[in-house]
Homo-oligomer: A and B are copies of this chain.
Amino acid sequence: MTNIEYNNELIQKYANLRRTINEEYINIHPIQRGGILTPEACKALISYGDGYSLCDNCLKGRIDQIENPPVGEFLKDMAKFLNIDNVMVTASARESKRLLMKVISKKYPKRKTVVVDSLAHYTTYLAIETNNLKVREVPNSGEPEFKIESNDYENIINQVIEQEGELPLLVVLTHVDYKYGNYNEPKPIGKICQNFRVPFLLNAAYSGGILPIDCKKDFIDFIACSGHKSMASSGPIGILGFKEEFHDDVMVNSKIVGPISLKSFPNKICTVMGCPPVYGAPLITLMASFPTIVKRTREEFVKEEAKKANYIVEYIKNINGITILGKLPKIHPLTNIKTDCFAEIAKNHPRKGFFLRDEFKKRGIIGMLPGISKEMKFSSYGLTWEQVKRFSNAFLEIIKKYAPI
């Protein structure tokens, strides 16, 4: 007996869940733009909706070795795409970071410090915390650019060596940060890490699938990507790319033996608990979108998307009370702005800060943080030019509505 009844109330609450809003609106939230499914992924999603749909023809008990559909081949193609030796799928980019830190902690048990840029995502910090490691930050230049200097990595690494008598365990660079969308060139930092012989992780959750990445050229040892954030996958699904020299550290085969049953599982990869939890929709949609991902990270597409982002910036930057934050011109379309002009309106508006979300919504645009009027974060990735112009224009319209000249 359970405490819950099967009745009309229960059915009404759960049996008709729809995300209708997204069908008529542009969603400019940066976590949404890169994950929107391709038509190919939509079709694959419907076909492979059941939980273990990828496992119909699993012959070896390993998701990474499934041949039909071509998972094994896909992982090799993804490795080529990122130009790194190996690729494994994980539950998410955050999970890639967590398990990577765990495996290299085991390799270098005396090294306790992870060096990160000070714009790292909160999950980078949580991966450090959950692995009982320490964090050191590389500073940024503060407002308005919040720029990271590659050379500061060298200083911080030297400080760690001096103060702890050990190398850092890992150096992390956030390729494109969640806050200002600043693009950081990995190569100079990769070179520094190579000189110190410290493993270098690129967190490409916002960039892998949006911008071109070449791990070998940039001295990247590990890369974490997000299928649902930037690779048009339903997900959640992460990618962990790693150099061959770390293969046996990441791909650890199980050694446990049942003392009575004598069961053992030497074919299973302990690091990902056997098969990572992506047995159906997450991985199949990532695979289905892969050709588009390859296409959209080519130079002409990337340039066009940057053009849209910079168009918006140019259009709104001279509005009184708007300040563009982060480095310019934009390379990645994630943009952060201070909106003192809107904060001023909010003061006297009956809906307070919520007025801003309302006003954009009236104009067919959603994804603003509710109640916030002092700053805004958005991404124009994948919008049509018509939508880019509508979005840019909305700023002026709202300003004019409340402060008619």
Q: Which residues of chain B are near A287, meaning CB under 8 Å?
A: 14, 17
Contact between chains at A228 and B279 (CB < 8 Å): yes
Contact between chains at A128 and B256 (CB < 8 Å): yes
Other-chain contact of A52, B32, B118, B290 (Cβ < 8 Å): B32
Q: Which residues of chain B are near A81, meaning CB under 8 Å?
A: 2-4
Identity of the chain B residue whose Cβ is nearest the Cβ of A45 in the assembled complex:
B49
Contact between chains at B265 and A125 (CB < 8 Å): yes
Q: Which residues of chain B are near A282, meaning CB under 8 Å?
A: 236, 281
Q: Which residues of chain B are near A281, meaning CB under 8 Å?
A: 45, 234, 281-282
Assuming the contacts A50-B36, A280-B228, asked whether A261 and B118 have C-beta atoms less than 8 A apart, the reply is: yes
Contact between chains at A6 and B56 (CB < 8 Å): no
Mask for A238-276, Cβ within 8 A of B = 1, else 0? 100000000000000011101111010100101101100
Contact between chains at B254 and A125 (CB < 8 Å): yes
Contact between chains at A118 and B258 (CB < 8 Å): yes
Say how far A22's CB is from chain B's closest CB, in angstroms.
7
Q: Which residues of chain B are near A227, meaning CB under 8 Å?
A: 51
Q: Which residues of chain B are near A311, meaning CB under 8 Å?
A: none
Interface size class of A (residues with CB under 8 A): 35 or more
Contact between chains at A273 and B94 (CB < 8 Å): yes
Contact between chains at B129 and A277 (CB < 8 Å): no
Besides the contacts A57-B370, A94-B274, A135-B256, what 10 more A-B pairs have beta carbons closer than 8 Å? A1-B214, A6-B291, A29-B52, A31-B52, A37-B50, A52-B229, A118-B260, A119-B261, A126-B265, A129-B270
Interface residues of A (CB under 8 A from B): 1-6, 10-11, 13-22, 27, 29, 31-32, 35-37, 40-53, 55-57, 59, 69-70, 73-74, 77, 80-83, 91-92, 94-95, 98, 118-120, 122-123, 125-130, 135-137, 139, 212-214, 226-229, 233-238, 254-256, 258-261, 263, 265, 268, 270-271, 273-274, 277-282, 284-285, 287-288, 290-291, 294-295, 297-298, 366-367, 370
